[in-house]
Amino acid sequence: MDVFVARQPIFNKQKHIFAYELLFRTGMSNAFPDLDGETATSSLLSSSFFTVGIEKISGGKIAFINFTEELLLQGTPAMFPPENIMVEVLEDVTPSEEVTEACKSLIAKGYDIALDDFVFSKEWLPLVKIAKIIKVDFMLSSIEDIEQIVAAVKPYKCKLLAEKIETYDEFQLALRMGFEYFQGYFFAKPEILKNKDISSSQLTLLQLITEITRAEFDPNTLERLINQDVSVSFKLLKYLNSAYYSRVSPVSSIIQAIAYLGERGVRQFVSLIATSKLSESKPDELIRTSIIRARFLEQMADSLGYKNSSDYFMLGLFSQIDAMLDNSMEYLMEQLPLNTEVKDALVSRSGKMFPFIRSIECYELGEFAKFSDIIQELGLESEKIPTFYMDAVSWADSYK
């Protein structure tokens, strides 16, 4: 059974990763699969998470997982180690005495409870009193309604999580209102959209990325370039000796690293290092998401037999460069000698490469039906997607 899993970051006040919410489907339909009985439920979750591995997809962070009323009453969350998951009670669950008792039973076993898309009413009070986190959707609720929720839950020990935070203004608003955690793609958008000059050091890094990707170097030239930067050398060797490669004997020299990865692999790694330096003042998840996109799109292109898959790697890697440098995508693309098709996809969101970047955006949001339509148009087999995404996540996490 194919299992499609995506993750969405949850940040703390310092914009550091606190957890990931996991979105999963057994196919490309955009709905949670029907779960009629205990056997079917166990089979689905076992296939989804014990095969994929919660720790692998969540990078060792807490995994927020949605549970339906039926799953809660069956005690299904107890299939997972309590230190790895946050049990999310969906908004359409009836806050009955049976559900409350099921949640209390889970808490007694060491689990924490979160209430999803919370809208306050007195019938929810028994669950509010025992919940660890209350999630409030900023897109669905008015500011007045959110203020009422904040006031209503203030007497209790639960902490507030703001969902659907899409801009830094919304992040600051939620922060002022007393929210502790934040979910949404505010971190992946520019804080300032105006044509300001980028620094010479930033421009140098941008030029280095494009030059090392397209120019033809021999191994000795590559070795000399990498050795000029101690941090690049260190990170390259650390990366090759990480768990991702599970090497028996360590890689101990740059020339050995080049021989192992190949010219293309080393160029990509150096471009990742340079890109990460551009986003040093941003949340780590920004560069991590960009790396996942780069690897994911490259694998899609390779699977389709495209000879220029490195362009798709760059497409993913640069897809959030506007947020990294707080500038417009159009202005930044004018500074770089990138492929015209890459620029069209990023600036005007058009051209033959655009469906690729749109596909990974849909996948990240859990919009699997839209994603399915795109990959069908591209002629890509959906069965390969879980492997591509898990490899991209592992690759990005090993790069940290």
> Could you report the per-residue pLDDT of 166-224, keeping only the tens digit for each?
998 999 999 999 999 999 999 988 875 455 566 767 777 777 776 676 666 677 777 77
What is d(CA 59, CA 51) in angstroms, rounded to the nearest whole number? Answer: 15
**pLDDT range class, residue 230, cuts 50, 70, 90:** confident
Q: Is there a contact between 302 and 310 (Cβ–Cβ < 8 Å)?
A: no
Tell me the residue type at 43: S
In the prediction, which pLDDT does 34 show?
47
Residue for token pair 């306050």: 120
In the prediction, which pLDDT does 33 show?
46
pLDDT digits (tens, 9 = 90+) for 339-382: 899 999 999 999 999 999 999 999 999 888 899 899 999 999 88
pLDDT digits (tens, 9 = 90+) for 23-66: 876 655 444 444 443 444 454 466 556 666 777 788 889 999 88
What value does the CA radius of gyration of the chain take, rounded to a whole number of Å? 23
**pLDDT higher than threshold 90 for residue 232:** no
**pLDDT range class, residue 1, cuts 50, 70, 90:** low
pLDDT digits (tens, 9 = 90+) for 60-112: 899 998 888 888 998 888 888 899 899 999 888 999 999 999 999 999 999 99
More confident residue, 217 or 131: 131
Which run of H or of E encompasses 66? strand 62-67
In the prediction, which pLDDT does 39 show?
47
Residue 54 tokens read as 């919660």
Residue for token pair 């998840």: 285
**pLDDT range class, residue 158, cuts 50, 70, 90:** very high
In the prediction, which pLDDT does 41 show?
44
In the prediction, which pLDDT does 162 show?
98
Q: What is the average pLDDT across 306-316?
A: 91
At 181 the three-state DSSP class reads strand
What is d(CA 196, CA 93) in angstroms, rounded to the nearest whole number? Answer: 49
* Torsions phi, psi for 123 (to 5 deg): -65, -20
**Which domains, from first to last, does the chain contain?**
4-187 (3.20.20.450), 200-399 (1.10.3210.10)
pLDDT digits (tens, 9 = 90+) for 208-226: 776 676 666 677 777 777 7
Tell me the residue type at 30: N
What is d(CA 112, CA 159) in angstroms, rounded to the nearest whole number? Answer: 12
In the prediction, which pLDDT does 214 show?
63
> pTM surpassing 0.75?
yes
Nearest by Cα to 211 from 320, 338, 360, 113: 338
In the prediction, which pLDDT does 45 show?
62
Average pLDDT, the chain: 85
pLDDT digits (tens, 9 = 90+) for 247-305: 777 888 888 888 888 877 877 888 888 888 888 888 889 999 999 999 999 999 999 99
In the prediction, which pLDDT does 38 show?
45
In the prediction, which pLDDT does 37 show?
39
Q: What is the average pLDDT across 162-167?
A: 94
What is d(CA 343, CA 333) in angstroms, rounded to the nearest whole number? Answer: 6
